[in-house]
Structure 1
Amino acid sequence: MSTAGNRPPGPEGRRDRWIEAPPADPGAGDAGGVARVRTVAAARELLRAKGRTTQAGFTAERIPRRLFRRRPILIDDGPEHDAHRKQLTRFFAPAKLGEQHGAFIEQAAREAVQAARSRGGCLVDELALHYSVRVASRIVGLTHAPVERLATRLTRFFRQPPVDHTKPDHGRTRAEWARAARDALGPLLALYVRDVRPAIRARRRRPEADIISHLLERGYRSGEILVECLTYGTAGMVTTREFISAACWHLMERAPLRERYLAAEAVERHAVLEEIIRLEPPVGHLYRRVRAAEDFSWTQGSRDGAPDGCPFQPGTLVDIDVRAANLDREVFGAHPERMRPERELPAADRVGLSFGDGAHRCPGSSLAMLETDALLLALLRAQPVMRTPPAVEWDTLIEGYRLRGFRIEFRDAASS
């Protein structure tokens, strides 16, 4: 769904969030009731309620448990999920990322920008796609095919009919579910044959410091590794690709902010990026299903209480509105809709809920910031000129924006 027409802010007082979600369907969630959460405190309490709620986003509830001995980390819950997440910290801890992948990420950023300069320009979303897939594939271990072909397989998988998580059967008809399965099968099979199977064979012979080797060590079967690779590959591609485009858009349109960013040290640059991702979260809604009766502290007399007829009892679907929560005045202070990287906030609050919270908080948040910073620094130092601003579309599966057609050119295409 296109929401083109978003424009950069004008006079003082205008919101600095440029990307607006399409209007909500007024009938969404009528069947069965949906509780809606719009503040950080309420969302965190819900997301941290271990054993009392389960993942209900990304069509997780449509995936039969019998398909896996080990459920994919994106849609799993419980002690095994928590243990697996804890083991993954060694791949995504900031110090480890810098030590093992920092030089590679900076080199990949320079090479991506140099290739774009040699062509005289590029689409930012394509530049971000191939760069983010290159980085993610190294960490996951999908290094047996050209990045462009891997990116094509991953993007094809997400060409799916729209969904509405608040409606019965996610708002899809039986025919649409059949079409979704059919359209996903080809890319999924190609991903396995061209990327995952060769990686599994290579890592069985010689393990490396990547996620596929880790999964093999834990006894994962090939099909389970395929789904995990899809999860990590697309998380590293889809959301990071869009955030890079959104951050580039803001920095190119705001000369003072761009100059500040280019002159700053890494800590201040990351503060700028954290403020942008707070205002423009790539995933706009998170969904949890209440599994155990719970009287959450905020359900009584609160603006986040359940609507009439929707108690927080087993079966309740809770829609956490990330975009609304990220403008919570109680956390972000006066004028939360304005971009102010100098906000004095605890580290845990700087991005709001843009990376989620609790057991399903994005484990790759540090990687997303590191690789976004590296690419934008290389790109902006090359002094690009925006020729076409991005058109804004909406991805209903991840409840996030897509920025397409964002074209830049370079005044001087000489080698840097």
Structure 2
Amino acid sequence: MIIPAVDTPTPGARDGITIRGPVAGTGSPDARDPLGLLDLFGDGFVWDPYPWLEALRTQAPVFQDPGTGLWLVSRHRDIRRVLLDPAAFRPDNAQHAVTPLPAAVLRVLARARFKLPPALANNGTASHAGLRRVVTRFFNAQRVAAAVPVIERIAGELLDTARARINAGDEYDLFASFAQVLPCRVLMELLGIESVDPATLIRWSDASLELFWGRPALPRQLELAESVGEFHQWLTATVRSGKAASDSFIGALARHRLPDGTLLDPQTAVGVCFFVFIAGQSTTGQLIATVLRRALTEPGMWPRVAQEADGAEAWVEEVLRREPPVTTWRRVTARGVELGGVEVPAGAQLLLMLMGSGSDPEVFADPERMCPHRANIRHHLAFGAGRHRCPGASLARTEAAVALRAAARTLPQARLAEGETEPPMLGLLSFRAPLRVAVTGG
């Protein structure tokens, strides 16, 4: 079905999704009413969510946000409980549009025959396990290890251009020209995608994230819906063409049989591809951008990740704990349940605050401090947990570490360009990252 909107509309919607920096009066909660000013799309929350996340965790660990109607779950132990109990907390709403889609936008999607049946993240049916096995075969540890030379080659090509520009005295944006492009090109090679160029796939993926996880105004929604429709039409034509190699990702989906023995229908195959193609490159690009920026701002970290054998891997893991690109995820209660001491009704839309869980002092000592090589670092929930844990976690970790190490070695003198203390930020319901990492060599 077409992705529906959540039941409660967001009042006071603000155009656009990029945030340049903190706005006076919205940077942190009011001590007298810590959650009264909470706006999940507001400048203060997007730019610096940590004070809000701490207020939620300590004062209202299960809190119904009046702006969205979502029940915000912020403690690590409660989020983990939800993720590990898919019978009580279903994934059906994981890909719902957070902003209601008006009739004009739905008509644009309908003309493109846009439909996403339950496939991966939003699939709580018996078909999920088999579909997940198809995906994990292409992203398991062995395949990822074998792909490292591919990642290194593409990273090297992209960074050669960056080095030439920086050596010429120019500023260079490592987000648009490196962090975004690297995972897209890697994914295309790993999955055998040749019928579209990386820039188009990036545009389609970004449009999908903004339309379904953002708060755009109607004119922008209409623009985005056109791009999303193009994306879906291309996926549908690619899946239905029958030209995919048998050992390719789409070829594997074409051969897959559901629990009842029937072949996977094309619409569900398209739904799998829609999720994998976005998660496999957009969110990984966001992770790489955050990893690069945080390494450039942490004293001594840039040369350290270039020199230490596992320095880049350790830094990536710590960034995943503290500042993951996927900041929240959704579930819906199958029945009334007690969660965190609060009675939550059946059908409640839950928003799991993954980003805040990485700073829960019950799990992580001194959580505000960036501390690579923490003993319990893998206890973070940046990739989820349980049967819906991100199947591309190994690839994302590897790409981010290779990208960071290669950038630090190729651009040893790189530093953030002047005025880059407040870059524009991606501020969607479930996704957050810097949208620019401008560097110079001076």
Partner of 1:103: 149
Closer/same/farther in 2, CA of residues 44 and 32 from structure 1, 3 Å limit: same
Could you state the TM-score of these two structures normalised by the residue count of structure 1? Answer: 0.77
Q: Which amino acid aligns with 2:184?
A: V
Determine the structure 1 residue equivalent to 2:375: 344
Residue 90 of structure 1 corresponds to which residue in structure 2?
A: 137
Equivalent runs, 1:357-368 vs 2, <5 Å: 357-368=385-396
Query: Where does residue 402 of structure 1 map in the other structure?
Result: 433
Instruction: Confirm or deny that 1:322 pairs with 2:372.
Output: no
In structure 2, runs of 5+ residues without a counterpart are 1-17, 24-45, 57-62, 107-112, 257-262
Inter-partner Cα distance in structure 1 for 2:116 and 2:434: 37
Q: Which residue of 1 aligns with 2:173?
A: 123
Q: Give, in angstroms, the shift of residue 47 of structure 1.
A: 0.9
The residue type equivalent to 1:249 in the other structure is R
**TM-superposed deviation, 1:405:** 3.2
Q: Helix, strand or coil for the counterpart of 2:352? A: strand
After superposition, the Cα gap between the structure-2 partners of 1:69 and 1:34, relative to the gap in structure 1 and judged at 3 Å, is closer
Query: Secondary structure, in 3 states, of the residue corresponding to 1:408?
Result: strand
Taking the aligned partners of 1:32 and 1:107, their CA distance within structure 2 comes to: 44
Q: Aligned letter for 1:97?
A: V
Q: For residues 377 and 85 of structure 1, what CA distance do their matches in structure 2 show? A: 31
Q: Which residue number in structure 1 is paired with residue 331 of structure 2?
A: 288
Contact 1:272 1:341 survives alignment (8 Å): yes
1:212 lines up with 2:250 in the alignment:
yes
1:188-245 deviation per Cα after TM superposition (whole angstroms, max 9, x unaligned):
34335556634753644x322x321221112344443333322112112322112111
Instruction: Extract unaligned runs of 5+ from structure 1.
Output: 7-17, 165-171, 412-416
- Taking the aligned partners of 1:322 and 1:343, their CA distance within structure 2 comes to 18
CA spacing shift, 1:71–1:141, aligned 2, 3 Å:
farther
Structure 1 residue 197 corresponds to structure 2 residue 237? yes
Question: Which piece of structure 1 moves more, 401-410 or 320-329?
Answer: 401-410
The equivalent residue for 2:90 is 54
How many percent of aligned residue pairs carry the same amino acid?
20
Superposition pairs of residues 268-287 of structure 1, within 5 angstroms: 268-287=311-330
Superposition deviation, residue 152 in structure 1: 2.6
CA distances 1:303-348 after superposition (whole Å, capped 9, x unpaired):
x322xxxx23312232322222111122112x11111113211x64
SS at match of 1:213: helix
Give the structure 2 partner of residue 2 of structure 1.
19
* Structure 2 letter corresponding to 1:372: A
1:193–1:52: structure 2 CA closer, same or farther, 3 Å change rule?
closer
Classify the secondary structure of the residue corresponding to 2:417. strand
Deviation at 1:32, TM superposition (A): 10
Q: Does 1:239 align with 2:239?
A: no
Structure with bigger RCO (C-alpha 8 Å, 6+ apart): 1
Structure 2 CA distance for aligned equivalents of residues 2 and 33 of structure 1 = 23
Confirm whether residue 369 of structure 1 aligns to residue 408 of structure 2. Answer: no
One-letter code of the match for 1:387? A
Displacement of 1:185 in angstroms is: 4.0
1:81 pairs with 2:128 = yes
Structure 1 residues 393 and 23, CA gap change in structure 2 (3 angstroms): farther
2:329–2:351 Cα contact (<8 Å) kept: yes
Name 1:258's counterpart in structure 2: 302
- Taking the aligned partners of 1:28 and 1:41, their CA distance within structure 2 comes to 18
Q: Is the 8 A contact 1:142 1:199 kept in 2?
A: no
State the one-letter code of the partner of 1:231: F
Letter in 2 for 1:136: L
Deviates further, 193-202 or 125-134: 193-202
1:332 lines up with 2:356 in the alignment: no
Secondary structure of 1:76's aligned partner: coil
Could you say what secondary structure the match of 2:362 adopts?
A: helix
Whole-Å Cα distance in 2 between the matches of residues 105 and 407 of structure 1?
A: 22
The one-letter code of the counterpart of 1:46 is V
Find the aligned partners of 1:342 and 1:116 in 2 and give their Cα distance: 30
Q: CA deviation at 1:247?
A: 0.9
> Which residue, 223, 226, 234 being the options, matches 1:186?
226
Cα distance between partner residues in 1 of 2:242 and 2:235? 11
CA-CA distance at 1:161 after TM superposition: 8.0
The one-letter amino acid paired with 1:401 is R
Aligned counterparts of 1:394 and 1:148: Cα–Cα separation in 2? 18
Alignment length, in residue pairs? 368
Give the deviation of 1:43 after TM superposition: 1.0
Q: Determine the structure 1 residue equivalent to 2:38.
A: none
Counterpart Cα distance in 1 of 2:441 and 2:142: 34
Secondary structure of 2:95's aligned partner: coil
Whole-angstrom distance in 2 between the partners of 1:195 and 1:46: 32
* Aligned partners of 2:424 and 2:436 also within 8 Å: no
Q: Which deviates more from structure 2 when the two are superposed, residues 386-395 or residues 228-237?
A: 386-395
- Secondary structure in structure 2 of the residue aligned to 1:319: strand
| Residue 210 (structure 2) pairs with residue 142 (structure 1) | no
Supply the AA of the counterpart residue of 1:229. C
Taking structure 2 as the reference length, the TM-score comes to: 0.73
Cα deviation for residue 87 of structure 1 reads 3.5
* Preserved CA contact (<8 Å) 2:236 2:267: no
